[in-house]
Structure 1
Amino acid sequence: MRLLGVSGLAAVIIVAGFPAPSVERARFDVRALKSQTAVLTPTGVVAVRAGDTVQRFAGTNVLLTQEGGAEHAASAALADEQRRWLASGDVPGPEDHKDMARQALLDLDTMLLEDGALLAAPNGAWRYTWPRDASFAAVALSRTGHTDDAARILLHLADLQSADGTFQARYATDGSGLPPDDRGVQLDGDGWFLWAAAEWLEQAPEDGRASVLSRLRPALTRAVDAIEASIDPMTGSPKPSPDYWEVPETGVTLGSISALLLGARSVQELAGAAPRGAQAQWTGELAARGAALEALLEGAVHRDFAAHGYPRHAGGALLDASVAFLMPPFAPADAEVRAAWERAAVVMSRPAGGLAPGEGWHSDGISWTPQTALFALAAAASGDDVQATGWLAWLDAHRTAAGSLPEKVLWNGQPAEVAPLSWTSALVLLALVELDERQVGALAARG
């Protein structure tokens, strides 16, 4: 983030840790909230611990500094820039969720580093870039009017991509471009990257599309190469790979295959939205490859997942949040998928009112905000405003005292682990965008 002109008046916002639970402890352990939000300073992003009090410039995530101090001018300029950034795009959603949307946007801007690396969260084991989270953030920023920031994310992901087109689970944000551990390749990253590129291209101003697309071209081609290399041409099934559960897998998961299917569809959409001219042959070839991959992957999904009620594992029985990846806005509406999605919401429900990642997840009473927000997005994109607004209201009610969306919510309603979580922020914004677009469509239909 560049430093611009010095701001005028600064207002103070006081935030503090989440209050101690008043409900008697049940059979579930209580986990700490490690960070309640993040603030920007002239030297970088700082996590704010749950028990701390912090002051911010009004309407920003910038840490308030004492007037006359050495850092005040730089901090005030940073606050001015973030206010301008927020005003340059849209704050989506109905009025009663505007504050959540505004804070989610500020949190994404705070988590986005100058080189395009996106922090999953501001501290600990989350202070890395996950291609999945970054791709969702790129789509959320594209659809709220911040396409330049989305392009930075995509170009950074292109730089991180391996020569064979795959992505590691996560990457350090120290400029090295290296994974911090041996979690290894997660194939779904290619699908999310291709989807994010197609969504960005649809939203980006025409005068900037060609140059960024030209720079992304090698990475997009490699991503399609990687999907092709992962698929058995006889069965259409990809290699087993970890997905957002971040655990080793010996069988194909719905989370992986649905993301790859989305990637195959997305390159076809990308080709349709790409500028005509020198790149037309390349995008046409990419679209043809995407269509062939889509046919293979759809066959595998039908055989190994649809026939069993869309479980987490091929041929399995337990349901998973990734069934939402086969719902709108990721895929066309399908009655059988919708029925599995509705069943999953029941078996994944948790005491505080949110959802677990899957039916087979630990019985720890914890609600996960990314999965709850994912279901809100699927509901909103499917025209189910009641379900969408219900989950969004739950997410809004379980933000930290600083206003950020946490990763988890305990059985007693207390936010836990880290905040803000970039993936949840992006999903909430996308759900609110879908609600807005449905309302606009309804008004247009009424004339």
Structure 2
Amino acid sequence: MVVAVTLVTTLTLGATAGAWLTHRGPFTPKPTEAFVALASTGLAVAPDGTRAELAPGSDLVFLEGSRVAVADPATATAAELATAQDMRDWLAAGTVPGAGTEFEDMSTNALLDLYALTLDDGAVVAGWTPHWRYAWPRDNAFVATALATTGHTDDALKILEFLQGVQSADGSFEARYLPDASGPPDDRGVQTDATGWALWSASTVLAEIDDPVARAAAAAALKPLIERSTTRILALTKDGTALPPASPDYWEKRTRKATLGTSTPLLMALQGADDLFALLGKPYRASTVAQAATTFDHVVRTKFGPNFPRDLGGSKVDTAVAFLLPPFAETADDDVLAAWAAAPEAMARAGGGLAPGAGWKQDGISWTPTTTVFALTAAALGEDDKAIGWLRWVDAHRTTTGSIPEKVLFDGSPAQLAPLAWSSANVLLALTYLGD
């Protein structure tokens, strides 16, 4: 990345992130239909590297193919034009999934948003509004994978190096980190799935490096992350023979039960770790990890099957059922496919997208991270019609600046904030699989 970082700039004030509004429109909402303010429609990057939210109603526009915001493109400064050209050059150095299709604009904007959300030290903030301006390992892992698959491998490796730098010596990760890598912003504590996501992303990123010498060198640079993460996962799963202890996952909620959302990232990580240890020149370690992955795959499918609910012993499905299918998993068995195919009906919301799970609160709000995960799995499975349907829904609910919001209200309005890193990464990955 060529831009610097300042975390204080704002262009215009928007609604408070997370504010719940009382509806004043021409109709009466149902009690279960919540209203959430849209705090930002996009993220701008200035020539000096500072970032700033674009609030709803802002008159600023982006220079073409960039995230440089100006009042009038005709009066853009030389510095603004040069910064915009840097971004266009960055786009040209990689690929735009979906180029030449109806999704090219969404894909281009998603890439530019990831560019803007990725900081010089490799940290990817989930969003730019205050409560999202942190680096979640989960989001960073998805962004690294998406950037690698679109030809921006150096940026992807820098993200993984950031994760390696903040990871604890025992292989664990806090829920989120300050973007300057100085530590967590609060006491949310460890979230076990993060270790799985980081190791999974390392394997997917390195797989995108064609040159064997460069791939081996990248693996060597990430050796601490690979070894610490694998050791922790093997300890948590007793070498793949047991589910890990209960831990918060992407729901960001405490739980006393083992969840599919924690177990599946650990499984995905183990399934890719053998290749990583082969790159590190440790064939015996590769073999033992591969065996643990096979054992753990059986444990997860036996314990959670045949319906694969969110909670062990529960009945309500959530997003994590998708993590047992390609591109996350190596195989797609009939029970998982059936659970995944049935999940959207249970998770559907009035706005047309999906909630994180069937057990999520009935507030009428669709979440783009879940909806785009289902688009990604559909694309990887060759279910093109389903993937295109979900992607068209996301495309239709972008903000006025072209960014993907975190949420969509029951009436189709984008909500909370935009752009959101995780959803942008998912869209790029889904379009990559559709192109394949």
Cα offset, 1:45, TM superposition: 1.4
What SS does the corresponding residue of 1:46 show, helix, strand or coil? Answer: strand
Task: State the Cα RMSD in Å.
Answer: 2.3
Cα offset, 1:77, TM superposition: 2.2
The residue correspondences of 1:84-103 to structure 2 (distance < 5 A) are 84-93=89-98, 95-103=101-109
Question: 1:123 aligned to 2:121?
Answer: no
The residue aligned with 1:8 is none
Cα offset, 1:169, TM superposition: 0.8
Question: 1:37 aligned to 2:42?
Answer: yes
CA–CA distance in structure 1, aligned partners of residues 274 and 73 of structure 2: 54
8 Å Cα contact 1:138/1:200 also seen in 2: yes
The residue aligned with 2:207 is 202
The residue aligned with 2:273 is 267
Q: 96-105 or 261-270, which moves further after superposition?
A: 261-270
The residue aligned with 2:2 is 2
Q: 233-242 or 48-57, which moves further after superposition?
A: 233-242
Q: Could you list the runs of 5+ residues in structure 2 that have no partner in the other structure?
A: 5-13, 16-22
8 Å Cα contact 2:317/2:359 also seen in 1: yes
CA–CA distance in structure 1, aligned partners of residues 114 and 58 of structure 2: 21
The residue aligned with 1:314 is 312
8 Å Cα contact 2:60/2:72 also seen in 1: no
Question: 1:229 aligned to 2:235?
Answer: yes
8 Å Cα contact 2:3/2:120 also seen in 1: no
The residue aligned with 2:371 is 372
Cα offset, 1:23, TM superposition: 6.6
Distance 1:204 1:318, change over 3 A: same
Distance 1:289 1:47, change over 3 A: farther
The residue aligned with 2:397 is 398
Question: Aligned partner of 1:297: which letter?
Answer: F
Distance 1:292 1:44, change over 3 A: same
The Cα offsets for residues 205-236 of structure 1, whole Å up to 9 and x where unpaired, read as 41532332211001110000110121245951
Question: Aligned partner of 1:324: which letter?
Answer: A
The residue aligned with 2:260 is 254
The Cα offsets for residues 23-67 of structure 1, whole Å up to 9 and x where unpaired, read as 734211321001111010124211111232212222111123789
Identity of aligned residues (%): 44
Question: 1:72 aligned to 2:77?
Answer: yes
- How many residues are matched? 414
Q: 73-82 or 142-151, which moves further after superposition?
A: 73-82
CA–CA distance in structure 2, aligned partners of residues 381 and 375 of structure 1: 10
CA–CA distance in structure 2, aligned partners of residues 82 and 415 of structure 1: 26
The residue aligned with 1:156 is 162
Cα offset, 1:238, TM superposition: 0.8
1:26 to 26, 29, 32: 29
Cα offset, 1:264, TM superposition: 0.4
Question: Aligned partner of 1:30: which letter?
Answer: F
The Cα offsets for residues 263-322 of structure 1, whole Å up to 9 and x where unpaired, read as 0001123346x3xxxx312xx244223223213322321232014x10001111111111
Cα offset, 1:191, TM superposition: 1.3
TM-score (ref. length: structure 2): 0.90
Q: Could you list the runs of 5+ residues in structure 1 that have no partner in the other structure?
A: 5-15, 438-447
Q: 182-191 or 410-419, which moves further after superposition?
A: 182-191
TM-score (ref. length: structure 1): 0.88
CA–CA distance in structure 1, aligned partners of residues 385 and 248 of structure 2: 33
8 Å Cα contact 2:61/2:72 also seen in 1: no
8 Å Cα contact 2:45/2:68 also seen in 1: yes
CA–CA distance in structure 1, aligned partners of residues 34 and 248 of structure 2: 27
The residue correspondences of 1:401-412 to structure 2 (distance < 5 A) are 401-412=400-411
What SS does the corresponding residue of 1:224 show, helix, strand or coil? Answer: helix
8 Å Cα contact 1:3/1:74 also seen in 2: no
The Cα offsets for residues 374-409 of structure 1, whole Å up to 9 and x where unpaired, read as 000010100101100000000000001110000000
What SS does the corresponding residue of 2:102 show, helix, strand or coil? Answer: helix
8 Å Cα contact 1:65/1:75 also seen in 2: no
Question: Aligned partner of 1:325: which letter?
Answer: F
Q: 193-202 or 412-421, which moves further after superposition?
A: 193-202
CA–CA distance in structure 2, aligned partners of residues 190 and 287 of structure 1: 18
The residue aligned with 2:353 is 354
The residue aligned with 2:10 is none
8 Å Cα contact 1:261/1:293 also seen in 2: no
